[in-house]
Structure 1
Amino acid sequence: MRFPRIVMFLAIPALLFGAPWWLLVYTTLSGPWFWLGTAVFLLAFAALPTGMLLGHGPRQSDTASKIGDTLLGVMWVVFTWSVIGAVVRAGLILGGVDDPARSRIVAIGVVVVAAALVAYAVYEARRLPRVRTVEVPIEGLGAGLDGVRLVVVTDTHFAALDRLRWSERVVAEVNAQRPDIACHAGDLADGSVAARSAQVDPLGKVEATLGRFYITGNHEYFGDAPGWIEHMAGLGWKPMRNEHQVLTRGGDSLIIAGIDDPTGRGLTGHGPDIEAALAGADPAIPVVLLAHQPVQVADAVKAGVALQISGHTHGGQIWPFHYLVRLEQPVVAGLSRHGERTQLYTSRGTGFWGPQLRLFAPSEITVLILRSA
């Protein structure tokens, strides 16, 4: 790990722990309680990067991953509300409220609010995702395909926490939506096929009359992308690797296409190629493109794609992280229009990455009902 990366790797935990330590310990506690509080913060500060490194690095320790991920999510919430608490504290100073009452009021408020939100966020992350239904008009879609139901799951991120039962419930809910087309838009799992396949295998029971399609996300390339591609094919899903397929119903046709995630460029033979994906496609037939990251819509616009389906953003996952996501991606969630004819649907994701928290960014199973424009 190069020196600048080491500095960044430690600077983020220092920021996450520094602001809460100042507000909850330095300004509030004294004597032995001050030193006890400081020791707890220092221990947690050391545990966070250690857990992330051992959990997501070469060792892939599930125990370390759980510790690091949990600390990351909890401290993001505590950090956010410590910053808000500091603003409230400044207001109390202007209002003439003196210490120790001022610091204690703010500290208690931050702890209570953060604890309540963490509990709520854990519940939101672990629950069965809500079904979100959106009608999407598609220019050039024939009457035979009007009303076709395209069900999307994405960003399931099966990882250290065993979510086999959750996976089975998601599959049951997907089938309850009577999909004509089922799609998984990437970030299937974190870890090897050997370690995570049991959680993924229920996806083999998804039923879709016109086909099941899968693309890689960036996280497949942090692990074993070729292994996951092969495994999903073995479950009956069609991996769409810079290719397309023509679907027909009622005498009318629709093209479903898929491209690799940009992270795949680091692996020989991988990486997005929309020209290859649409090579030989009839330009008169509307195209639905699976592309993991919303930022890939720029290429979709150039190619005249009717609808791109993406995930990746998680809707920010833990408020207010969506403001940072927006710096990298053109859309955080929902249906949007780009260029003259291209629409983009960005899912908040079906699972969660890392911290088992979702705060003001609910997970979803998406039903896109395609309509003749």
Structure 2
Amino acid sequence: MTETSEPRSGATEAEEEPGSRLQRLLRYLPLIAPVLLWTVPCWVLLYAGQNWPLAGTLVSTVLFALGLIGMPLAMMRGHGRRQQDRAAIVGDTLLGGIWVLFTWSVLLGVLLRLALTVAGVGDGEDRARIVTWSVLGVSAVLLAWGYVEARRVPRVRRLDVQLPRLGAGLDGTRVVLITDTHYGPLDRARWSERVCETVNTLEADLVCHTGDIADGTADRRRAQATPLGTVRAAWARVYVTGNHEYYSEAQGWVDLMGELGWEPLRNRHLLFERGGDTLVVAGVDDVTAEASGLAGHRAHLAGALHGADSELPVLLLAHQPKFIDRAAAQGIDLQLSGHTHGGQIWPFHYLVRLDQPAVAGLSHHGTRTLLYTSRGTGFWGPPFRVFAPSEITLLVLRSPRQPASS
């Protein structure tokens, strides 16, 4: 028995070794990532053959070193137990800035240098300096533009969505989606008011918020969230929790949204009736809810649909697009989600795609299920949006049983 069990144990360890190595690597990622983010641009801009004056090189190197040390410290103070808003603003801004600088240091440090070499432009030092100034110029322009994009009131994105099971009486139903407002360290109370004013111009039948209202407790961000109480809808305003609610005080946000006149759809549904036809509007808690330990909080689709006629079309609110697998298995007609921010700062959407089945827009899943993923109304952390504009979405539901009307 002993002789046969030892090889089996060794084989098991060998099989598990790749996974354990990956897990160990992921543990060190928070330490590795900041080092790469700061050292790669430092090398590309200062030490890749430019031969800058020694004093300038030393001062710049010290600034990069301070950023490497200061950014994680500021983010820990800002988003950790202390929740210091000023520290969060500093840390988040440094994170966004160095991500853009890192991205373009890598791209231009390779591609532009190669193009200049092939074209025979200058010597090695000339090419290195051209790369440096190009990286700095492109990064500065993108950060300035990205800041304006993040802080502005989102543009309205309008699209018609045909649902095969939607009754003719519901054709033309106007659904407005806002999500990921992320009220946070930067006071955006006025921005919140203007977003709500824009929503009210859309004359919605139903207004949906699919979570990540804020970073922080409801008491702390109340002033920024209060304008949500002014949103108008002909039928209802509905809300589901996002993962960021569970980083602070999810039940507090559920209670505040109820106080502001929104219907929290915590694993339940409402019926929207018009013209003799009915639409089921359901919502589930975020997929991270159960791990939060809050009593009664979990994503429970069966509970959300309990008592609803299975022949009726269903509009489902679920914060994360990855819930679509469960939705498609139940034959949900349309799921509305956010969470991804469209990547927020290019090319981060490639990393988002590793975790989510969709990053933005309308996609098909299963035999009849549609998923609309919003790029989000606000922003998280770094106050920048680069090639991932925010949005307020107007979805006009269409029935195949009646010609679309203007």
Structure (1 or 2) with the larger CA radius of gyration: 2
**Which among 288, 291, 316 is matched to residue 289 of structure 1?**
316
In the alignment, which residue of structure 2 is the partner of 1:329?
356
In the alignment, which residue of structure 2 is the partner of 1:160?
185
In the alignment, which residue of structure 1 is the partner of 2:30?
9
1:115 CA displacement: 0.1
For 1:285 and 1:6, the matched residues in 2 are separated by 46
Mapping of 1:74-223 within 5 angstroms?
74-87=97-110, 88-96=112-120, 97-223=122-248
For 1:170 and 1:347, the matched residues in 2 are separated by 15
**Which among 344, 351, 368 is matched to residue 378 of structure 2?**
351
1:137 CA displacement: 0.7
1:93 CA displacement: 3.8
1:7 CA displacement: 3.2
In the alignment, which residue of structure 2 is the partner of 1:52?
75
**Counterpart of 1:73 in structure 2: which amino acid?**
G
* 8 Å contact kept, 1:136–1:371: yes
1:4 CA displacement: 6.8
SS in 2 for 1:262: coil
* 8 Å contact kept, 1:171–1:202: yes
1:192 CA displacement: 1.1
**Counterpart of 1:291 in structure 2: which amino acid?**
A
Give unmatched runs, 5+ long, in structure 2: 1-22, 401-406
For 1:117 and 1:45, the matched residues in 2 are separated by 21
For 1:9 and 1:304, the matched residues in 2 are separated by 39
For 2:100 and 2:25, the matched residues in 1 are separated by 26
Q: Structure 1 stretch 220-229 or stretch 134-143: which is displaced more?
A: 134-143
In the alignment, which residue of structure 1 is the partner of 2:95?
72
Query: Structure 1, residues 247-282: CA drift from partner, whole Å, max 9, x if none?
Result: 111221100000011111122321201011111110
SS in 2 for 1:105: helix
The two structures have a TM-score, normalised by structure 1, of 0.97
1:91 CA displacement: 3.6
For 2:335 and 2:28, the matched residues in 1 are separated by 37
For 1:284 and 1:39, the matched residues in 2 are separated by 66
* 8 Å contact kept, 1:144–1:251: yes
In the alignment, which residue of structure 1 is the partner of 2:404?
none
Question: Is 1:23 matched with 2:47?
Answer: no
* 8 Å contact kept, 1:190–1:220: yes
1:121 CA displacement: 0.3
SS in 2 for 1:186: coil
In the alignment, which residue of structure 1 is the partner of 2:12?
none
SS in 2 for 1:100: helix
* 8 Å contact kept, 1:183–1:212: yes
Mapping of 1:209-288 within 5 angstroms?
209-266=234-291, 267=293, 268-288=295-315
**Count of equivalent residues:** 372
Q: Structure 1 stretch 92-101 or stretch 27-36: which is displaced more?
A: 92-101
* 8 Å contact kept, 1:129–1:362: yes
Question: Is 1:36 matched with 2:63?
Answer: no
For 1:329 and 1:7, the matched residues in 2 are separated by 23
* 8 Å contact kept, 1:10–1:49: no
1:12 CA displacement: 1.0
* 8 Å contact kept, 1:9–1:49: no
Give identity over the alignment, percent. 53
The two structures have a TM-score, normalised by structure 2, of 0.89
For 1:246 and 1:85, the matched residues in 2 are separated by 54
Q: Structure 1 stretch 166-175 or stretch 21-30: which is displaced more?
A: 21-30
Mapping of 1:357-372 within 5 angstroms?
357-372=384-399
Q: Structure 1 stretch 259-268 or stretch 290-299: which is displaced more?
A: 259-268
For 1:290 and 1:105, the matched residues in 2 are separated by 49
SS in 2 for 1:202: helix
**Counterpart of 1:271 in structure 2: which amino acid?**
R
For 2:185 and 2:148, the matched residues in 1 are separated by 18
1:90 CA displacement: 3.5
